[in-house]
Chains A and B, each alone.
Chain A
Amino acid sequence: EIQMTQSPSSVSASVGDRVTITCRASQDIYTWVAWYQQKPGKAPKLLIYTASSLQSGVPSRFSGSGSGTDFTLTISSLQPEDFATYYCQQSNSFPFFTFGPGTKVNIK
C-alpha cells in the first residue's frame, strides 16, 4: 500500500500569508496526487488534481506542484475562508486510494 505523509501537521498563519503544505509518497506516484480542503462538519472539497490541475471554481491562489514522491500545495495569499484542514490523496494505485493525515491551517 502506498503511504502518504504530510508536513507540517498544523500551521498557524495570518491573512495574506503564503502557506505551503508538503506531501510525500512512499513510492513514485508520478503526478497522481489530488488535494482537498475540509472545513469542520463539512465534506472535503477537491482543489487540485493530477498534482497541478486546478479544479473548476477553485480560486487561483491555490496551486499544486511536484512529481514522483514529493508534492506541494501552496496558498499564495491566505484568505479568512481558507482556514481548514488540507489532505493530499494518491491515485497511482487506482482504485485503491490513500490519503495523507491532513494539515490544519490555523489562524495566527
Chain B
Amino acid sequence: EVQLVESGGGLIQPGGSLRLSCAVSGFAVNDHHMSWVRQAPGKGLEWISIMYSGGRTYYADSVKGRFTISRDNSNNTLYLQMNSLRGEDTAVYYCARTDNFGFDYWGQGTLVTVSS
C-alpha cells in the first residue's frame, strides 16, 4: 500500500527555517518524481517544487532561492528545507508522487504557520 506521511510543520517566526519530511512507503522515492504542493488557509493549490527520479530539481518562483528539495534514498524520505520564511509561506504542505500528468498519491499534509 502506498503511503506518504509528512511531518515537521509548526509555528515559526518570520525569517526562520524549517525542514519538512515526507516518509514514503509502498514505492521507492528515487523511482518516481516527487513534488511539494502547498495550500494557504482557505486558498487553492500551489505547486512549489519537484525532484525528478534522476535527481534534477525545479522550483516555483515564489520559493526559488529559499527552499531546497532533497531526498534520502536509504530512509525513503523526501525533504523540503525552508529558509527565510515569510507570512505568505503559511500553508498546509503536501508531498505528492508526481507523473508527467500530475499527482497520483498525496500525503495528509503538514501545517506551517509563519508568524511572530
Contacts and interface: CB of A to CB of B under 8 A. Distances in A.
Contacts of B13: none
A49 B45 contact: no
Contacts of A94: 100
Q: How large is the interface on B (under 10, 10 to 19, 20 to 34, 35 or more residues)?
A: 20 to 34
B102 A46 contact: yes
A43 to B, nearest CB: 4
- Grouping DSSP codes into helix (H, G, I), strand (E, B) and loop, the A interface class, with mixed when no group exceeds half, is loop
Contacts of B50: 95
Instruction: Tell me which of A32, A43, A89, A94 has the highest count of chain B C-beta atoms within 10 A of its own C-beta.
Output: A43
A95 B44 contact: no
Interface of A: 32, 34, 36, 38, 42-46, 49-50, 55, 87, 89, 91, 94-102
